[in-house]
Amino acid sequence: MFTDWLRRVFGGIISAIVASLARLGVHPNTLTIAGCLLQLGVGGVLGAGHLRLGGILLAATSVLDAFDGALARQRFGATRFGAFLDSCLDRVAEAGVLIGLGWYYLHQPGQTPELLIYVALAGSLLVSYARARAEGLGIRCRDGLFTRVERTLLLVIGLVAGWVIPVLWILAIGTVLTALHRMVRVYLQVRDDPIEQAPTTQG
């Protein structure tokens, strides 16, 4: 995936920054919370109609995602709660950005952008849920092109370049297809596997 390529290319830079953060005593959960709050702020910038500025800020704040996990693994020791918090706040941050963009388009002529944002948001959450549910069953599920890094990169490009509507079409279709792809992959792996107790579907 593109995410793995980024880690290979920028691994040295990330390690150096992580070492500096560790010396300063920064806790990985602090980075996770700060990154979420900053991206919610980006949603506010987008809601106010500053799309290009919002794209630039989204690119800058998204960098924090590369540091919290690395800091936890390399310096503090990754914890189950830290991983849980990171996953939850990633969803909050992504939703906040898309909701902010939707708020802007809500006050513009036409309904297509808002509908695309709704579909993209639902699709992105389903992509993440499919992975979480599969891994809860002991199945590795990281397949698909539109993971969070790819979704964020596309949105940044669309906002900065002024291609928001085409990018929203790509995100809406791509996230749904990625979620379906993950479902099919899990089906092919465990379609005949019995379970002792029916898994809960409650939220």
Active-site residue, from 4, 86, 90, 143:
90
Residue 82: pLDDT above 90?
Answer: no
Indicate the burial class of 91 (C-beta count within 10 angstroms; 0-12, 13-18, 19 or more).
middle
Which pLDDT value is given to residue 71? 76
Of 100, 88, 91, 87, nearest in space to 42 by CA: 100
Which of 8, 1, 31 lies closest to 131, judged by CA? 1
Give the pLDDT confidence of 18-62 residue by residue, as tens digits.
Answer: 667 667 777 788 888 999 999 999 999 999 999 999 999 999 998
Global confidence as pTM: 0.86
143 classed as catalytic: no
Q: Indicate the SS3 state at residue 103.
A: helix
Identify the burial level of 134 via C-beta atoms within 10 angstroms of its C-beta, where 0-12 means exposed, 13-18 middle and 19 or more buried: buried
Angle at Cα 95 formed by Cα 139 and Cα 167, nearest 5°?
90
pLDDT at 6: 53
Which domains, ranges and CATH numbers included, belong to the chain? 2-190 (1.20.120.1760)
Q: How confident is the model at residue 181 (pLDDT cuts 50, 70, 90)?
A: very high
Whether residue 119 has pLDDT greater than 90: yes
